Chain A
């Protein structure tokens, strides 16, 4: 009798564990959605509304479209974003990358930028990723203070090379993307 009891308890426990995990996962995902995703959507929607209804769109289109629809222009964007003084300022929360990405998305949607440029553009607007976070990120990895001292400039200088390089790789990887 106790053996059967044990089996039932065991099954009950593991099922309860799985259901509990799933439920907790749902709670977490709704939580992140409400805290992080929807506020950003509201903010981005406002910006898109502003771009689409006012003349701001044309102004941005002239500035961005020219540079975002050629390899040289994208390289220029990535070089600017990778400048060691600028990159930590452009990094926080990836806000700049998200706004510029959205602006480019609007222009791609309007047909001003060819869709195959979306791939290199994703790298061109983002060589500064995490540049604001290097000391914290290294601390999370339990790095010594000496490592942080060397690590911050090492990452920043590395981006000067790898930022534009990423654009070139993405450019060649975009052949055959959204073309007939």
Chain B
């Protein structure tokens, strides 16, 4: 019985460590990261940002990478891209104090005082922030394992009521039930959080007009400065429909002027 329990625990540990993310095993990329940091430390923020962006385009999604990239843009006085990358870092490490500090600083420093309106995070999506090390994949996989364990125990007991260690099996099923509930909620919360970040966008152009229709001749509803956080509703033929947080005001901006925090294809 002890062997079974150990096997179960090991399986869960493997689920946590392997399905979450694949660590870079390419030492060249680690070296590139180190070079980018050196460029930053030497004051060459533009080159540093370019190096961090290169790593990002390679498919890395790392809180430290985005944080350092945000710092580089901040030093280049590009508040929009700085805010965007701090938000990307915060998505991956919501409890990191450094990210929060820099994010607050950038939000306070945008030119339009009303621009410091962040999008409210859905209540269900906040559960995931409390346990940031449990990723969507880990939560869903562990929930699946718990589900399978519950059924395996149930079928075993149905097959043979006099199976040895039946009491222990029942206890395992109860624990797996709690696990299913906890990680199921975490999985849903992660999915909600993921949707939230997919729908969150940041104006990265220095200034952009929000138009009534996806047409350059349409009437301008409002002008937004860089760093304004918006809800992204849809994208169509080079135009993106956005809504201002906490208002019903919405309109169209050029897609090149706004960027989502989490791209759907990632």
A and B found bound together: no
Q: Give the interface of A toward B (CB within 8 A).
A: none
Q: Give the interface of B toward A (CB within 8 A).
A: none
